[in-house]
Amino acid sequence: MADKPQRHVTKIAAIVAMIAITTAILGYVYWHSSRVMSVGSAFHAKTVCSGVFIAGRDQTKVTADDVMADMTTFLRHWSADIDRERKSVRASLFGFVSREAVYRPGLGCTLVTDTTIDALMEQAAGYAPPAPAGRSSQLWPEGRRVEPGAASAGVDLVRLTSAVDEAFTEPFAKQRPRRTRAVVVVHGGRIIAERYADGFGPETPQIGWSIGKSVLNALIGTLVADARMSIEQHRLFDEWNGNGDGRSAITVDNLLRMVSGLDFDEPHTRMLSDVRTMLFLKGDSAAYAKSEDLVEPVGTSWFYASGSTTLLASAMRKAIGGSQADYFVYPYRALFAPLGMTSAIIEPDAAGTFLVPAFVYASARDWARFGLLYLNDGVWQGERILPEGWVRGSLAPATGSDGEYGAHLWLDVPAFLRPKSAGDHKLPDDAFFMLGHDGQMIAVIPSRDLVVVRLGLSRRRNAWDHNAFLQKVLEAIPEKGR
C-alpha cells in the first residue's frame, strides 16, 4: 500500500516533465518559425524597396521576378505595401511578422530593425549625397557615349554578338531559367558589346550581391594608400582585446582573405544561417559579426564568410573617423566619383555600417568601370586610386582556398557556383573574378585586355555557367598584342 503514493508522485512528475518538454519544443518551434518568417518579410520589404526606389522598376515586376521567382509556394503568401510619400515598404505574411524598409537618398534602402524611421532619417541628416555628374558627350568610360559595333582590331564582332545574344536565351526556361539582365563587354578600354533584358538598361542600378566584397577590397586599398589603415593591423575592435582573446590577433589581411578562424555560418541554403541573420534580422550587423567565436587558429583555415566583410566595413568606419556623414560619403569621394560610377549606392544597416557583403547597387556600365580599374592595376585615367602592388597582392591565394580565392577577389569560379554538369572550359591563367549571388559576375582577363560584366537572377545552380559564357566571348577576342 505504501508504494501507491510513490507511484502516484512518479506519474505526476513524468506528466510535468512531459508538459515541460512539450512546452520547450513548442516554444522553440514558435521562436524558430517567427524568425524564419521575419527573414522572409525582411527580404521582401528590402528587395521591393531597393527595386522600386533605387532601380526605378515597377513593384509588380520586382515582386514577381526578384522576390517570388523560383521560391516555394509557401513564400508566395507574403505581400508588401508601399508608402510612396515616406518612400518605405512594409511586408508581412498574412499581416503577421511585419518588417519595414525605408529609402534614403544616396543610401538606398535600410531595414528598420531595432530603431525607427525617424531615427534613421536623423542618422542621415548630415549627409548630402553627391550630385550625379552631367551626361558627357565623351566616349565611355570618360563619358557616357558608347559607339555600338566599335571594336579593337582583331575582334570578331559576329562571334561576340552571338555569344552575348546566346546569354539571353532560355534553353531550359521552366527547369532552370537564366534570367540574364545585362551583359557588357569591354576591350581596349571601350565598350564593344552590351545588351539588356526588357525593363533594364544602361542606367539601371542592379544589385551586385557579393561583388560588393570586391568593392570593399578597393575601399580598404584607398585607406591603405592614405596611410589610415594597414593590412597587418590587428587588435581591430575593443570587444576582442580582453586578456587571452585570440581574436585580437586577427589582421585586416586575415579578414580580406577570409582566414580569420571565426565561426561564421555562410550558406544561403539554410534559412537562419549567420549571413541571413546578419543581413535580415540584426540592426547592427558589425556587432553580430564581432560576437563570433574563434574556432580555428588565425590565418590557417579558409572559409568563405560575409562576416569578414562586415567586420572590415566596421574597421573602415573607425579608420575614416569623423561623423557618420563622413563615413557615408567616403566611398563616393574616394572611389565612385573618380571612376565616374554615378549610379553606385552602398546600403547601410540600421546602425549605419555599410552592408558591403551584399547590398551594393550600380549600373552594368558602372560595374564595368570598376572592373576596368582592376584591369589597369588600380590606375584610373592616369591617377593611381589603389596602392601600387595592391591588385597583385590581392591576387595572392589565401591559405587553404585551393588557389581559388585571394583578398576578396576570386582567382577561379568555385565549384559551388558552377553547374553540376559543367564542362571543362579552360580560361586564361591570369583571369580573375568578382562574383555574386544569383549569377553576378565581373571577369577581368589582362592577357586579353578584357572586362566582362554579366548580371542576372539565376537562382538555380544549373541555370548559368560563367566559364562556358566566357569561353564563347574569348573566341571572339584576340590575345593581347596580337
> CA 384: distance to chain centroid?
25
Residue with cell 529609402: 103
Q: What whole-number distance in Å separates Cα of residue 6 and Cα of residue 461?
A: 61
Whether residue 79 lies inside any domain: the answer is yes
Of 102, 42, 108, which is closest to residue 78 (Cα–Cα)? 42
Whether residue 155 lies inside any domain: the answer is no
Instruction: Please check the confidence at residue 270 and state whether its pLDDT lies above 50.
Output: yes
Instruction: Please check the confidence at residue 424 and state whether its pLDDT lies above 80.
Output: no
Cell of residue 65, nine digits: 521576378
Helices 157-167 and 466-474, packing angle to 10 deg: 160
pLDDT tens column, 206-262: 999 999 999 999 999 999 999 999 999 999 999 999 999 999 999 999 999 999 999
Question: CB of 343 within 8 A of CB of 144?
Answer: no
Q: What are phi and psi of 455, to 5 degrees?
A: -125, 145
DSSP state of 262: B
- Torsion over CA: 207, 210, 211, 215 (sign): positive
pLDDT tens column, 319-345: 999 999 999 999 999 999 999 999 999
Whether residue 434 lies inside any domain: the answer is no
If one compares 273 and 458, the residue with the highest pLDDT of the two is 458
Q: What whole-number distance in Å separates Cα of residue 291 and Cα of residue 294?
A: 10
CA-CA distances (angstroms) from residue 127 to 122, 170, 327, 390? 10, 44, 9, 30
pLDDT tens column, 430-481: 999 999 999 999 999 999 999 999 999 999 888 999 999 999 999 999 987 6
CA-CA distances (angstroms) from residue 293 to 53, 301, 409? 38, 14, 25
Cell of residue 124, nine digits: 542621415
Cell of residue 89, nine digits: 515598404
Q: Which residues contact 223 (CB under 8 A, 6 or more apart)?
A: 229, 316, 319, 320, 334
Q: Name the helix (H) or strand (E) containing 360.
A: strand 360-362
Q: What are phi and psi of 126, to 5 degrees?
A: -90, 5
Whether residue 342 lies inside any domain: the answer is no
> CA 364: distance to chain centroid?
15
Of 293, 214, 299, which is closest to residue 254 (Cα–Cα)? 299
Query: Angle CA(93)–CA(96)–CA(101) in degrees, nearest 5?
Result: 75
Q: What whole-number distance in Å separates Cα of residue 458 and Cα of residue 393?
A: 31
DSSP state of 411: S
Q: What whole-number distance in Å separates Cα of residue 82 and Cα of residue 104?
A: 15
Helix, coil or strand: residue 345: strand
DSSP state of 129: P
pTM equals 0.92
Instruction: Please check the confidence at residue 32 and state whether its pLDDT lies above 70.
Output: no
Whether residue 31 lies inside any domain: the answer is yes
- Torsion over CA: 462, 345, 273, 395 (sign): positive
Q: DSSP readout, 197-236?
A: -TT--TT--EE-TTHHHHHHHHHHHHHHHTTS--TT----
Helices 364-375 and 211-225, packing angle to 10 deg: 50
> Can you list the positions of beta strands (E) in 63-211?
78-83, 88-93, 96-104, 108-111, 180-187, 190-196, 206-207
Whether residue 452 lies inside any domain: the answer is no
pLDDT band at 26; cut points 50, 70, 90: very low
Q: Which residues contact 407 (CB under 8 A, 6 or more apart)?
A: 217, 253, 256, 257, 393, 394, 395, 396, 398
Whether residue 288 lies inside any domain: the answer is no
The tally of domains found in the chain comes to 1
The stretch 342-371 carries a mean pLDDT of 98
Q: Name the helix (H) or strand (E) containing 361.
A: strand 360-362
Q: What's the helix, strand, coil split of the chain in %, to 5?
A: 40, 15, 45
> CA 438: distance to chain centroid?
10
What domain range includes position 72? Answer: 3-104
Among 117-121, 211-215, 268-272, which is the least confidently predicted range? 268-272
Q: Which residues contact 151 (CB under 8 A, 6 or more apart)?
A: 157, 160, 187, 188, 192
AA identity, residue 304: Y
The stretch 195-216 carries a mean pLDDT of 97
DSSP state of 428: P
Whether residue 473 lies inside any domain: the answer is no
At residue 9, the pLDDT reads 62
At residue 18, the pLDDT reads 63
pLDDT band at 379; cut points 50, 70, 90: very high
Label residue 398 exposed, middle or buried (CB < 10 Å: 0-12, 13-18, 19+): buried
